[in-house]
């Protein structure tokens, strides 16, 4: 495959994409809280959405568009209110947002996707949204700064914006993919994450775009968890406008695999960022399982560890409490012999063996504490049952998580 390189920017890195972020006072005051992603060239679209049976109105709207619209051109996003638990009034709001964006941008309302994130159960202030949409349409630009504005506007309790872009050669053409996403609570995606948007100028059929995305999330967004709560709003959209000019990818083959690699670079970067910026998090907590009998078992084991509240609290306390990790592997549902598992703590500089042959190893607590004080802590689990592996990403559990969520609505 072509050489994959990271480039500046996010959703406006790929040819033909514009973006904007503006203040609309949907709920937050004095900060950008609405974002637009736009392409004058019609885009193929693929999406994955929350598996929660309680779906926010924008999820219902987008699922219909992704399934049936011939093309899309815009995504309108707001933070502050989730438009979930809002009944028919919530669906009406989506329609009005799409109609307003269609008018402001000169495109059909069926080419407009919408997404919302924030508190559940509040009705949306439709007029402020419409005002915001008109501002977005006026402000939109293909600059990297405009992409950054959008990435900032979709944040809720996130502490940093999250975006990335990569370039790769496909069929002799330079293809760019860019993405942005937001966390950071109610994160336990079971189809995709809260809100993530990827744009690309790749020329790819709708069918292959959806195939690439659906295959990808299993090892990217579905491998992260902040708090085990699968949101009502999880939405991941990929828009492809074809402007790179490569021959259309219509089946599996080298071009498709190159595209998948590039997409995976984007999604795992965003997923890791989201985990590390989980509500109240002081560290990214990564669990890598190797030597598993099957890929699926590796995934289950890795996720069980990063989801364990006790393990997460121990990571926050820089406490090498490997018993909790072993315990979380044990209740994952995967059958194994604890006597034949090895556990290691590692960071970028060192690795220590903490458990093997059924008992704790003779490691230096001081070394362990050093590793556990890194901003990125990794537990390596060797199951010695086969050759499959998987990695999951979470974060520690801190006082701040409790504080944020004890008074989120106020």
The footprint of its own copies (CB under 8 A) covers: 50-55, 82, 84-89, 119-123, 185-186, 188, 190, 227-232, 307-310, 313-314, 316-317, 319, 321-324, 326-331, 334-336, 338-339, 355, 357-360, 397-399, 401-410
Q: In whole angstroms, give the CA distance from residue 19 to residue 161.
A: 15
Say which DSSP state 339 is in.
Answer: G
Residues 69, 61, 148: CA angle, nearest 5 degrees: 90
Token pair 């520690």 in the structure block, residue = 396
Work out how close the CB of 99 gets to its own copies at its nearest, in angstroms, rounded to a whole number. Answer: 22
- Of 57 and 196, which CB lies nearer to its own copies in the complex structure? 57
CB of 175 closer than 8 Å to CB of 169: yes
The residues assigned a catalytic role are: 193
Q: In whole angstroms, give the CA distance from residue 389 to residue 294.
A: 8
Work out how close the CB of 404 gets to its own copies at its nearest, in angstroms, rounded to a whole number. Answer: 8
Work out how close the CB of 281 gets to its own copies at its nearest, in angstroms, rounded to a whole number. Answer: 12
The CB-side HSE value for 308 (13 A sphere, CA atoms) comes to 24
Would you state the structure tokens that stand for residue 137, as one six-digit string? 């349409």
Work out how close the CB of 58 gets to its own copies at its nearest, in angstroms, rounded to a whole number. Answer: 15
- Of 200 and 308, which CB lies nearer to its own copies in the complex structure? 308
> What distance, in Å, lies between the first and last C-alpha atoms of the chain?
51
- Of 89 and 387, which CB lies nearer to its own copies in the complex structure? 89
CB of 303 closer than 8 Å to CB of 296: no
Using a 10 angstrom Cβ sphere, with 0-12 exposed, 13-18 middle and 19 or more buried, the burial of residue 56 is buried
- Of 3 and 359, which CB lies nearer to its own copies in the complex structure? 359
Work out how close the CB of 95 gets to its own copies at its nearest, in angstroms, rounded to a whole number. Answer: 16
CB of 105 closer than 8 Å to CB of 137: yes
Say which DSSP state 373 is in.
Answer: T
Q: In whole angstroms, give the CA distance from residue 21 to residue 76.
A: 10
- Of 108 and 360, which CB lies nearer to its own copies in the complex structure? 360
ω into 264 cis (within 30 of 0): no
CB of 135 closer than 8 Å to CB of 153: no
Work out how close the CB of 24 gets to its own copies at its nearest, in angstroms, rounded to a whole number. Answer: 21
Cβ neighbours, 10 Å, residue 210: 19
Would you state the structure tokens that stand for residue 8, as one six-digit string? 């500046």
Phi, psi (degrees; rounded to nearest 5) at 213: -70, -45
- Of 1 and 120, which CB lies nearer to its own copies in the complex structure? 120
- Of 202 and 314, which CB lies nearer to its own copies in the complex structure? 314
């Amino acid at each position: 495959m072509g050489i994959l390189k990271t480039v500046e920017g996010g959703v406006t890195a790929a040819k033909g994409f514009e973006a904007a972020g503006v203040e609309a006072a949907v709920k937050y005051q004095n900060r950008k809280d609405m974002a637009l992603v736009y392409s004058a060239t019609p885009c193929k679209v693929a999406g994955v959405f929350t598996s929660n049976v309680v779906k926010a109105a924008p999820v219902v709207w987008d699922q219909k568009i992704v399934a049936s619209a011939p093309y899309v051109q815009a995504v309108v996003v707001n933070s502050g209110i989730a438009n979930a638990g809002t009944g028919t009034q919530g669906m009406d709001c989506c329609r009005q947002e799409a109609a307003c964006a269609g008018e402001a941008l000169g495109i059909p309302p069926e080419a407009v996707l919408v997404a919302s994130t924030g508190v559940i159960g509040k009705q949306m202030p439709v007029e402020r949204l419409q005002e915001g949409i008109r501002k977005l349409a006026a402000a939109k630009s293909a600059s990297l700064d405009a992409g950054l504005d959008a990435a900032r506007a979709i944040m809720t309790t996130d502490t940093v914006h999250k975006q990335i872009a990569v370039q790769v050669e496909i069929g002799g053409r330079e293809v760019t993919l860019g993405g942005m996403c937001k966390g950071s609570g109610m994160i336990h995606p079971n189809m995709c994450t809260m809100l993530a948007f990827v744009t690309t100028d790749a020329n790819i059929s709708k069918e292959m775009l959806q195939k690439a995305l659906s295959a990808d999330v299993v090892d990217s967004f579905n491998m992260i968890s902040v708090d085990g709560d699968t949101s009502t709003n999880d939405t991941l959209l990929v828009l492809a406008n074809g402007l790179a000019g490569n021959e259309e990818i219509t089946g599996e083959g080298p071009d498709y695999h190159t595209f998948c690699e590039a997409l995976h670079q984007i999604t795992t970067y965003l997923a890791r960022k989201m985990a590390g910026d989980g509500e109240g998090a002081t560290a990214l907590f990564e669990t890598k399982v190797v030597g598993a009998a099957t890929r699926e078992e590796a995934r289950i084991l890795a996720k069980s560890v990063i989801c364990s509240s006790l393990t997460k609290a121990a990571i926050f306390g820089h406490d090498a409490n490997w018993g909790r990790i072993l315990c979380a592997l044990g209740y994952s549902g995967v059958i194994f012999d604890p006597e034949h598992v090895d556990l290691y703590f590692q960071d970028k500089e060192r690795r220590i063996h903490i458990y093997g042959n059924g008992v704790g190893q003779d490691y230096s607590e001081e070394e362990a504490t050093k590793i556990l004080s890194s901003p990125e802590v990794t537990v390596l689990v060797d199951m010695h049952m086969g050759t499959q592996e998987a990695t999951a990403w979470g974060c520690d559990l801190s006082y701040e998580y409790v504080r944020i969520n004890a008074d989120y609505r106020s």
